[in-house]
Structure 1
Amino acid sequence: MSITTDESDNARIWDTSSSSTRKSFSRFRPSCFRDAYSAVPIVISILALFLVIGTIFGVAVRWNQMQAEIAELKSNQQTQPATSKQVDVPPPPFQPFVSYVRWGRKTCSSSSDLVYSGFGAGSSSGSQNLKGGGVEYLCLPFDPEWNKYDMKNDSYAYSWIYAAEYLSYEELNIFPAKTHGHNMACSVCLAPRSTQIMIPGKRSCPLGWTSEYEGYLMTSYVTTNKMSIVCVDKEPDYIGGTQNVTGGAQLFFVSPFCNEQFGGISHCPPYVNARELTCVVCSK
């Protein structure tokens, strides 16, 4: 028996554009495809979560690396030698100095530096006829330096200067016997302090001051040209080979004159008439 099919029937069977055909084909679509479409949002969420986790992990790793680098730098700084550190050293404090003349000695005290040594000199105080000149004693160095000079030796063009001589007299028993008549030694000293004073009539310095030396007040004779009063060391040096009283710049001990009737000082006692006055040079 043969079966015949009408062409129009075949056309209906294979016509997929009809709604019935689409429905019939939809029944044949696999279910896995339908599940995959519904799982796409979940996959995207999972991928985003992994991305966030990876970023956080990367940041944490870099943070740990930075902490390790900082710790290494600190360790290197602590292990560097002290000489390589930059240290601001303050400037040394200003140190003042003061100079003074030590009359009667070739050297300075142990707390001072010697600038130079020499011999005492001044205008003539032993002659009534020589009224001019200066009134200060000078400490002349042993090695003078000359500039321009004229040696005509005209007395009207000069003011003379003489060596200063001790007139200490052996019988006074204050300076050694050989001192009398010799030229006075002297030295210029530099002390690491800011000021200095000479205190007449004292042997000690005020509290907080340094004693440079002590001695006796000396100046020219009472009836001759006036000269300054200086403090001569109690243990004087003298220039050897100069013992000859020449009437130059002479040095006598200074004593109080207590006769008030003739203008003497009125503080006797404690001052004593004709007693040799002491002195001290102090610095601070």
Structure 2
Amino acid sequence: MTGNNGQGAKGLKGDTGLQGAKGQKGAQGLTGNNGQGAKGSKGDTGLQGAKGQKGTQGLTGNNGQGGAVYVRWGRKTCPYGATTVYSGVAGGTDFSESGGGTNYQCLPNDPQWGRYQDGVSGYRAYMYGAEYRVATNALFGSTSLDAHDVPCTVCYVPTRGSKLMIPARNTCPTGWTEEYDGYLMAASFTHTATEYVCMDDNPETVLGGQGRQSKASFYPVEARCGALQCPNYVEGRELTCVVCTK
């Protein structure tokens, strides 16, 4: 019989051994460069591009000032040193109407029209001419003004950029130039409210414009004591005004 080369029968598989101890932490590797190579040298400067087209010329300057515009109420021309933009007549809302605008307008003598529909409508604002309403001529000397239509002119001062109307004064502060002075006027307290304007001290009238008609009105403005301190104000005294530029 053949032998078994001196080897016995294969034994059973043994049990799994215990887990060995954790090894020591290895040394930290070198820091990477995020996949970027070394910075290259600066390239040569490119060729200069073609010259662009010349731009349009700007508006002519005015030494940094835009000039001042104001209305000279009660006069047909502007004072010395000011240029007349246009002349016209004063207008506004009729004293008896509660609607419409509250500011007076200097309406040009030569209106221009766009699209229109003739005939008075009941659903519009209305523009009327304006009249002086002065019971006496004490404020404006011997000139008879009551119920006359009021002229106006729009003036431009190119060399001064600011305009100021000061109520209750007839001279300008130091450093300001007086354009004109006069008396403060507005609608009567019983009528629809309007703005306050400075009526020239030497007013003119519109030729052929006398008669009490549907109109806006200019009344002198009087001081009333109370919250308005008297003195220095005086009860019932008409207020002056001055228009100044700088």
TM-score for both structures, normalised by structure 2: 0.71
* Structure (1/2) with the larger helix percentage: 1
Gaps (5+ residues) in structure 2? 1-60
* Identity rate, percent: 40
Partner residue, 1:82: none
Which residue among 237, 243, 246 is the counterpart of 1:281?
Answer: 243
Q: Which has the larger radius of gyration?
A: 1
C-alpha change, 1:247 and 1:208, in structure 2 (3 Å) is same
Residues 1:103 and 2:70 are matched in the alignment: no
**2:222, 2:237 within 8 Å by CA — same for their partners in 1?**
yes
Give 1:275 shift.
Answer: 0.7
Which residue among 89, 97, 108 is the counterpart of 1:141?
Answer: 108
**CA distance, structure 2, for counterparts of residue 113 and residue 124 of structure 1:** 31
**CA distance, structure 2, for counterparts of residue 92 and residue 190 of structure 1:** 13
Q: Which amino acid aligns with 2:85?
A: V
- 1:196-211 superposed matches below 5 A: 196-211=163-178
Gaps (5+ residues) in structure 1? 1-90
Partner residue, 1:162: 128
**CA distance, structure 2, for counterparts of residue 97 and residue 201 of structure 1:** 25
Corresponding residue pairs, total = 185
C-alpha change, 1:171 and 1:213, in structure 2 (3 Å) is closer
Q: Which stretch has the larger CA shift, 171-180 or 273-282?
A: 171-180
**CA distance, structure 2, for counterparts of residue 153 and residue 279 of structure 1:** 37
Residues 1:269 and 2:240 are matched in the alignment: no
Residues 53-74 of structure 1 show CA distances to partners (whole Å, capped at 9, x for unaligned) of xxxxxxxxxxxxxxxxxxxxxx
Partner residue, 2:150: 184
Give the aligned CA root-mean-square deviation in angstroms: 1.6
Match of 1:183, SS state, is coil
Q: Which ranges of 4 or more aligned residues in structure 1 deviate by more than 2 Å?
A: 91-96, 169-178
Give 1:153 shift.
Answer: 2.2
Match of 2:144, SS state, is helix
Q: Which has the higher contact order (CA 8 A, sep 6+)?
A: 2
**1:198, 1:282 within 8 Å by CA — same for their partners in 2?**
yes
**CA distance, structure 1, for counterparts of residue 75 and residue 138 of structure 2:** 20
C-alpha change, 1:92 and 1:186, in structure 2 (3 Å) is closer
Partner residue, 2:219: 252
**CA distance, structure 2, for counterparts of residue 159 and residue 123 of structure 1:** 8
Residues 1:219 and 2:208 are matched in the alignment: no
